Amino acid sequence: MRIFQIFLLSNGGYYLGKLVPNPEFREDVVDLLRVLLRKHSSMLDRQLFNRMEKMEFLEKVLNSNNPQQIRMLGAFSKSAWGRASLRMSGALDLLIQKMVNTDSDEERLFVVQTFKEFLHDSAGLRHMGENESFMRKIVDDVGKFVEKHLDVCQPQIDYESLKMAEANPKMFPFTLKDTQQLSEASRRRRIEKENEIEKLHKDFYAVWAYYSPAAPRASSPNYSPCVSPPLSDPPSGASSPTIRPNDSILHEFVPPEPSYERFTVEMRKNLEMKLPRAERVWNKTIDGELSLLTWLSQDEQNLPLLARVDIVDTIINYLRNTSKPQFHCYRVLRRLATLRTHAYQLIDMQFHLKVLTGLCATPCRMLKHSKKCTRCEKCAELGREILREFATHVDNSYGDAHINAQFTSDDLVERTKAAIAKIVLVKERTRLAKVPSLSVLFESLTQILSSSENFKRIGLKAAFENGPSIVSQIIGSLSILIAGKKIRQLCNTDSWYFPPENENCMIEKAKIEEENTPELLKFLDENQDEVVSAPMHIVCEKSEYFHGMFSSGFLEQANNVRSFQIDGDICTRDEFRLFVHLVCECTGSCSAINDADQCATILELADRYLCHDVSKMLSSDKGPLRTYLRGTTLPILLPTALTTCAQEGSLDYALLTLIRFATPDEITTAMEAISGNSLLVETFLIALRKFIDAQRVGDLQ
């Protein structure tokens, strides 16, 4: 190395240049120049920069109107001295202005690629971050990209796997009942793992990671109802030490195994090559701008520049609503979560709620038995990581004092936000005991649901700009209090209801098989037209209402037929006919319940006419209520469950669906359906408080 330096200092490069025209030495001279350039590129760059500085090259470029001005300025970004000169001369501001104002995508991409040369130049990055137009331009560009490539996850139920599981129950994963059949050691390990998960519930691991009932997959050997901590090391046998690739002598010669990330990157590049050039340029520009934000967050001094509502919203929107996002930009949010000096500002902007609703509560995790998508699972994992980090910096006297101060506000919404923040972020018991956060939430919920006017005036208010309603945030925050083990206990026997398609009608069978003509109960509509007729003894046996009416001679018998007029205001003819077939325990297509509306009507009829067997069948593990009970049907089935006081466990299942398996919009619609009805609201609040107290973990009040 020393000889090359001496060669350069002795003006050897000059003589090498004179030898280049000679064909005899040209090849050797070029090889030697390549070695010199590789070994002393920094020295050559410095010499070149000094020459350009003496000639005032940069000033001449800035004062020129040359069409290639931007590209000539971009050449200075290749070296540290050039980047410093760009920053101090004002050329960097000129490049930023060009990026903001240009209409050419090619030119904008060149400027962004020039800025990427500043990734290791902290002063240059900070200079860009302090430029308001630069930050707004990135927000606008990413927003337009998301709008153009909007791809919201559309959850789908995995019917194929459900049918396979129905035909072969052994495909279901272990339930809690199966635990008794395991060996003592296996059962102990399982209980320890569940207890460990339960302890982590306030550490945002079990918030959205607990087992949600999904169809089992024969092709997924790693599927298990028990989840393991995300940061735990993979298990290894005692006789099989962990082998790392770098421990091998041949690791330099053996190519590494292709990872999933590498495969994804290569696949992404192959797909991009098939896109039109304009589309590729636009994609590279967005990737470059997000990389600039990510690198800007590397330096803790730059984080206050990123603690902005528009930056946080843009990154969450990009990760959630694009099909193949660059997940590296989540680091901006994670590093913001470590910014303790701006914890007040992040709490006030509802940073925790933005992450919770934007990343953790992804669409396909809000639907039971849905096909899981990789993007939603990745977003949920990153969201939990961000919230864990944020909670560690808020769960102290500094952050807790700011939250407690908001409880004294006269504004109900502000007190509610404080209670939600307390539940989500604070886990230390003494701090939780200072303010009864759960009681504050229930007081707010009571006032919001007390009348339709209060619901519209308070409940529909957004917790933050363009965010979900405050009433949905109250319900959603309660999910943090429920441990995953408790949810598995409610869902461990859950299955899917498939409407029967055979012709097994018990009414027709009873009419044919009985020797004597059975006494019939004829059900008539308001026009005295027959809706359906059924054997009297079956109807009276299954319904206490009809048993009390007809078995005591309350109505006179005539021609071996008795009649009952139905109320057309509570159901249609077809719905009542279906109800009678269910009362008679028909198991054919005549008793098929095809949607949530029919299920709600039959539940109301069963409650009205005291048909407990029908209610029990509808609410059973394999009944239609659990299948049709989802976020979209809550406005129909939740009021019915509250009114009819459905079978034991069914109301809990409805509340679980509301808290865990419903989107903010679905929660808002469900709460609007019961608001203003004092009886329903009182029943709902009592049942919800009882459910939370029974299922929650911890001593929150």
Q: What is the pLDDT averaged over residues 574-599?
A: 88
Element (H, E) at 46: helix 41-54
Give a yes or no: residue 482 inside a domain: yes
Is the pLDDT score of 204 beyond 60? Answer: no
Give a yes or no: residue 576 inside a domain: yes
Whether residues 646 and 517 fall in one domain: yes
Give a yes or no: residue 529 inside a domain: yes
Report residue 294 CA to chain centroid gap.
22
Cα–Cα distance measured from residue 251 to residue 244, given in angstroms and rounded to the nearest whole number = 10
Whether residues 468 and 513 fall in one domain: no
CATH code of 619's domain: 3.30.710.10
Whether residues 548 and 641 fall in one domain: yes
Average pLDDT, the chain: 77
At residue 672, the pLDDT reads 94
pLDDT-derived band at 259 (thresholds 50, 70, 90) equals: very low
Indicate the number of domains in the chain.
2
Token digits for 166? 């129905």
Q: What is the pLDDT averaged over residues 456-474?
A: 89
Kindly report, residue by residue over 294-340, the tens digit of the pLDDT: 999 998 999 999 999 999 999 999 999 998 898 999 999 999 999 98
At residue 337, the pLDDT reads 93
Q: Can you state the angle between helices 374-394 and 412-425, rounded to 10 degrees?
A: 100
Residue 365 · residue 211 · CB < 8 Å: no
Whether residues 515 and 482 fall in one domain: no
Which amino acid makes up residue 503? Answer: E
How many other CB atoms are found less than 10 A from the CB of residue 456?
A: 13
Cα–Cα distance measured from residue 363 to residue 602, given in angstroms and rounded to the nearest whole number = 30
Is the pLDDT score of 253 beyond 50? Answer: no
Cα–Cα distance measured from residue 515 to residue 66, given in angstroms and rounded to the nearest whole number = 106
How many other CB atoms are found less than 10 A from the CB of residue 484?
A: 24
Give a yes or no: residue 337 inside a domain: yes
Whether residues 542 and 429 fall in one domain: no
DSSP 457: I
Whether residues 512 and 479 fall in one domain: no
Of 487, 519, 539, which one is at a domain's C-terminal end?
487
Is the pLDDT score of 214 beyond 60? Answer: no
Give a yes or no: residue 49 inside a domain: no
pLDDT-derived band at 196 (thresholds 50, 70, 90) equals: very low
Token digits for 105? 């995508």
Among the listed ranges 198-202, 232-236, 457-461, 587-591, which one has the minimum average pLDDT value? Answer: 232-236
Q: What is the pLDDT averaged over residues 43-59?
A: 62
Whether residues 513 and 584 fall in one domain: yes
At residue 516, the pLDDT reads 60
Whether residues 448 and 299 fall in one domain: yes
DSSP result, 533-577? EEEHHHHHHH-HHHHHHHTTT-S--BTTEEEEE--TTT--HHHHH
Whether residues 269 and 305 fall in one domain: yes
Residue 52 · residue 58 · CB < 8 Å: yes
Kindly report, residue by residue over 260-293, the tens digit of the pLDDT: 444 455 666 666 667 788 888 999 999 999 999 9
Q: What is the pLDDT averaged over residues 51-64?
A: 70
At residue 271, the pLDDT reads 62
Most confidently modeled of 134-148, 588-602, 626-640, 654-668?
A: 134-148
Dihedral sign from CA coordinates of 543, 546, 551, 557? negative
Dihedral sign from CA coordinates of 434, 436, 440, 443? negative
Domain containing 686 equals: 506-695
Q: Sheet holding 530-535: strands in order across?
A: 530-535, 520-524, 561-565
Cα–Cα distance measured from residue 348 to residue 547, given in angstroms and rounded to the nearest whole number = 62
At residue 528, the pLDDT reads 84
Cα–Cα distance measured from residue 171 to residue 165, given in angstroms and rounded to the nearest whole number = 6
At residue 133, the pLDDT reads 94
Phi, psi for residue 524 in degrees, rounded to 5: -115, 150
Interacting residues of 437 by C-beta distance below 8 A, sequence separation 6+: 418, 419, 422, 423, 700, 701
Label residue 559 left, alpha or beta by phi (over 0 means left) and psi (-120 to 50 means alpha).
left
Quick one: what percent of the chain has pLDDT higher than 90?
24
Label residue 644 left, alpha or beta by phi (over 0 means left) and psi (-120 to 50 means alpha).
alpha
Give a yes or no: residue 283 inside a domain: yes
DSSP result, 345-376? HHHHTTHHHHHIIIIIS-GGGSSTTBPP-HHH
Token digits for 51? 């020459």
Most confidently modeled of 176-185, 554-563, 636-645, 673-682?
A: 673-682
Whether residues 407 and 279 fall in one domain: yes
Is the pLDDT score of 409 beyond 70? Answer: yes
Of 452, 487, 522, which one is at a domain's C-terminal end?
487
Whether residues 519 and 632 fall in one domain: yes
Bigger pLDDT: 253 vs 60? 60
Whether residues 542 and 580 fall in one domain: yes
* Alpha helix (H) residue ranges in 231-373: 260-273, 277-296, 303-306, 309-321, 330-337, 343-348, 351-355
Kindly report, residue by residue over 485-518, the tens digit of the pLDDT: 666 666 655 667 777 777 778 777 776 665 566 6
Is the pLDDT score of 474 beyond 80? Answer: yes
Of 440, 459, 487, which one is at a domain's C-terminal end?
487
Give a yes or no: residue 630 inside a domain: yes
Residue 134 · residue 140 · CB < 8 Å: no
Give a yes or no: residue 107 inside a domain: no
